[in-house]
Amino acid sequence: MATPQNDVHAMRTRSDGLVIATLEQHVADLQVAHGEAKKNLESAKTAFEDLDAELAVALAKRDSFREFLVKSSLSRRLPTLPAEVLSNCFEQFCWEGNPFQANLGPEVQPDMRIANAPFTVAAVCKRWRTLALATSSLWCYMALPEPPEEETPAATAYTAYVLTIIERSKTFPLSIVIDWTALEDMEDRHDCTTILDAIGSQAHRWVRFQMNINISSAGPDMDWMNMFRSPTPKLRTMNCYARGQGELAVDWRNPYPRYLPVTPKLEGLRMSWFPLIPSGPLPLYESSSAHLFPGNTCFRSEKPF
């Protein structure tokens, strides 16, 4: 008959056997994992040594090529176009649309391709920008579509554009195209007054002048038209077109105001705002025709521009 002491001893023996079996299995698993890790480590070590050798070769090639580039840059330089030739290329690009083309009529609109051309050239690189800013002929064309809303960043940039063209063109003749036919508050806008005053100060440089306005925005005072009372010795074509219905409320009194006092080179003139009264006789060339009637002055020379 089994005694309690024998039962306890048997239970302890079974428990110890289970612990030993578990430990043996754990040791066996670790031995397998250790063997696999050793193989992987040896393989990784071999791969690392191969990569290390390949990296050393690549570094040597890179350093050698860098040294070659330094030596070659000292012995030869890339050819560059002379400034005069490059400046002429700029003119060919910027003048592709002929900014001084003598067109007359309300259909003439600001050509933004010509207007943007010098800014495109000046944005390429430092050398091109320096040369473009020194070439005043690139900045001879001023295009003014409808101005942005007043007192906005866009309106500030619009005015700055006008002043930039005036500054960069220096003393070179100007071709100006203004299309404000959609603007109904021209006389009430300070920025428009600033722009017209700036343009008027350069009347002696005008060669081609086109201005389309909305007749309702002209206003009764029309002080801005005083810019046409300055001498325009280089002016060849002028077209001023008014869109809309009605007439300008201008009180003409004797002595009448005189406009375009000096226009020795004028070849084409069309005014639909008001009866233009020149200070002297307009030059007439052979095969030319002139038509003068209230509210519309038109003169056109067939002489080539």
- In 135-279, which ranges are continuous DSSP H helix? 153-169, 190-200
End-to-end CA, the chain: 139
pLDDT tens, position by position, 56-94: 988 898 888 888 877 776 655 556 778 888 888 888 888
- Of the two residues 57 and 290, the one the predictor is more confident about is 57
198 band by pLDDT with thresholds 50, 70 and 90? very high
| CB environment 226-259: b (16+ within 10 A), e (fewer) | ebbebebebbbbbbbbbbeeeebeeeeeeeeeeb
**ω into 255 cis (within 30 of 0):** yes
The mean per-residue pLDDT over the stretch 7-23 comes to: 79
- How many CB atoms sit inside 10 A of residue 110's CB? 19
Query: 0.85 exceeded by the pTM?
Result: no
The DSSP element (H or E) to which 207 belongs, if any, is strand 206-214
φ/ψ region of 222 (left if φ > 0, alpha if ψ in -120 to 50, else beta) reads: left
